[in-house]
Structure 1
Amino acid sequence: MTSDLATLKSRAERLRDLHTGDLLVLPNVWDAGSASVVAGAGFPAVATASAAVSAVLGLSDGEQAPWQEMFAAAGRIARAVDVPVTVDAEAGYGMAPRELVGRLLDVGAVGCNLEDTDHRQGGLADAGAQAQWLADVRAAAGEAGVPIVVNARVDTFLPASGLSGAERLTEAVRRGRMYLEAGADCVYPIGVRDREDIAALVAELPGPVNGNTGENVDLDTLRQIGVARVSYGPRFYRTALAQLKAAVEELRP
């Protein structure tokens, strides 16, 4: 285990507390260097982005990268900083709850994103089965003695869900409530772009909500709505690559 149990427990409790104060801003990272930049800038926690980590490995997101390599990257990130680290663990890589919790703690992570897309069958996972799985993850964390912070991603707004229009919001609220009741600490309705939809989710869900900034939704807007946490996925990784491309293009004769 990267850190001792007492340190991991303290960091998990700190990460949970960060969801109840001012908006928790998480500029997602992909390696030890980017993690050090974020922590060095004063952010109180570090979050990985599976799309960025898998891209560094030359592979696609959606559990296409071997979990061993994804967790190895998370371990390097956790060792590089002295703040809580939460890992984008995608849909859990088919692991049993105890194994997932154990591997997260082994690499020094105290939080995780867990999404309800079924990468093997396609579409959304059964909501009841997902809620039970989240409850089992919560129980496994309790047995391990570290209250891992679970950010339950709800994928109803993604095209692959097969939902459209108002049903996306209705189903997001239904699933979000189930996941919070199962023991999730935060609900992450990824892909929401409409301010009214975000406000409705914050109003309808009895727990913290993770949002994203977008063309018409900035950090101040999310704060006003009452969003607890905001993350950026692979956005900064892609920006870094774009800046690298521009810089090396200038070197061409």
Structure 2
Amino acid sequence: MTTTDKVSVLRALHVPGSPLVLPNVWDAASARAVQDAGFPVVATGSAGVSRVLGYEDGEGTPAGEMLAAVARIVRAVSVPVTADVERGYGLKPAELAERLAATGAAGCNLEDTDPATGELVDPGAQAEFLAEVRAAAGQDLVINARVDVYLHGRTSRQEAVERGRRYLEAGADCVYPIGLGDEAEIQALAAELEGPVNILFRPGTPSLGRLAQLGVARISFGGGLQQAAHAYAQGLFAKVRKGHSPY
């Protein structure tokens, strides 16, 4: 498939009630494993990729290194890849779109927390940023717009809906209210937004099947799988240190 074909496939898989499930990967090997397991799309997670590269999440990874990692993952698989690029690493929208296109990525996550201050970006400014990325990329990029109000301890569905609607109007394909796990709130937000919604799966979140029933269109796993894999590797190393076989 060409990148344009992959973008079309990725966009079409955002179906409320039949969600796209994305076990986020952290390198080329994990990407191949996800593809081999039968998933139609590979998604990177900034936390996992950053840890593997030796940096902290929250734009601690230099843009060039993160985008190079995305490019390696794209080369390793034949399915569409959507990349978590945090808030764009300070790149101007046109440059961000250009450099994402150079990796071959079909989509990206863009968050609305300012990494420099740790505060939420003004929704109008974020909508303008997303609109400029959309204008630069055209339709050859699936944009998943993160809404961080729940990460910041706010419980206002109205604020999340208002931000989500502005981001969709600005050209985002999907809205990602990260940190939202309450069943009733997920269902209400999905209904009010009238656009595809991405939910982060973590302990305490409704099951995959229930999230589908609630109208979710996309389910991510964030850095959880990389953390679990790392913990398992630590156990293997401890066995070897004690003189035991890890197998």
User: Structure 2 length normalisation: TM-score?
Assistant: 0.94
**Aligned with 1:87: secondary structure?**
strand
Matches within 5 A, 1:28-39: 28-39=24-35
Residues 216 and 122 of structure 1: CA distance in aligned 2, closer, same or farther (over 3 Å)? closer
What is the identity percentage for the equivalent residue pairs of Structure 1 and Structure 2?
55
Residues 130 and 216 of structure 1: CA distance in aligned 2, closer, same or farther (over 3 Å)? closer
Match of 2:200 in 1: 212
Query: Does residue 1:10 correspond to 2:9, yes or no?
Result: no
In 2, Cα distance between the equivalents of 1:148 and 1:56? 26
Of 187, 203, 218, which aligns to 2:191? 203
Which 10-residue stretch deviates more, 198-207 or 178-187? 198-207
Query: Does residue 1:129 correspond to 2:125, yes or no?
Result: yes
In 1, Cα distance between the equivalents of 2:193 and 2:43? 23
Is the contact between residue 72 and residue 107 of structure 1 (CA under 8 Å) also seen in structure 2?
yes
In 2, Cα distance between the equivalents of 1:209 and 1:216? 15
In 1, Cα distance between the equivalents of 2:114 and 2:185? 24
In the TM superposition, residue 216 of structure 1 has moved relative to its aligned partner by: 4.3
In the TM superposition, residue 96 of structure 1 has moved relative to its aligned partner by: 1.3
Match of 1:155 in 2: 148
Query: Does residue 1:19 correspond to 2:7, yes or no?
Result: no
In the TM superposition, residue 213 of structure 1 has moved relative to its aligned partner by: 2.3
Of 216, 224, 228, which aligns to 1:235? 224
In 2, Cα distance between the equivalents of 1:164 and 1:35? 34
In structure 2, the gaps of 5 or more residues are none
- Residues 139-180 of structure 1 show CA distances to partners (whole Å, capped at 9, x for unaligned) of 1111xxx5200000000001xx3x534x2x221111000000
In the TM superposition, residue 122 of structure 1 has moved relative to its aligned partner by: 2.5
In 1, Cα distance between the equivalents of 2:225 and 2:239? 21
In 2, Cα distance between the equivalents of 1:216 and 1:101? 33
Matches within 5 A, 1:70-149: 70-142=66-138, 146-149=139-142
- Residues 63-104 of structure 1 show CA distances to partners (whole Å, capped at 9, x for unaligned) of 011011000100100000001000001001111111111111
**Aligned with 1:250: secondary structure?**
helix
Number of equivalences? 240
Superposition misfits of 4+ residues, deviation over 2 angstroms = none
Is the contact between residue 153 and residue 190 of structure 1 (CA under 8 Å) also seen in structure 2?
yes
- Aligned CA RMSD, in angstroms, stands at 1.3
In 2, Cα distance between the equivalents of 1:57 and 1:33? 14
Query: Does residue 1:194 correspond to 2:189, yes or no?
Result: no
In 1, Cα distance between the equivalents of 2:181 and 2:140? 31
Query: Does residue 1:178 correspond to 2:166, yes or no?
Result: yes
In the TM superposition, residue 58 of structure 1 has moved relative to its aligned partner by: 1.6
In the TM superposition, residue 110 of structure 1 has moved relative to its aligned partner by: 1.1
Of 45, 48, 67, which aligns to 2:41? 45
In 2, Cα distance between the equivalents of 1:216 and 1:52? 20
* Counterpart residue identity of residue 173, structure 1: V
* Counterpart residue identity of residue 105, structure 1: A
* Counterpart residue identity of residue 238, structure 2: E
Which 10-residue stretch deviates more, 185-194 or 239-248? 239-248
Is the contact between residue 180 and residue 206 of structure 1 (CA under 8 Å) also seen in structure 2?
no
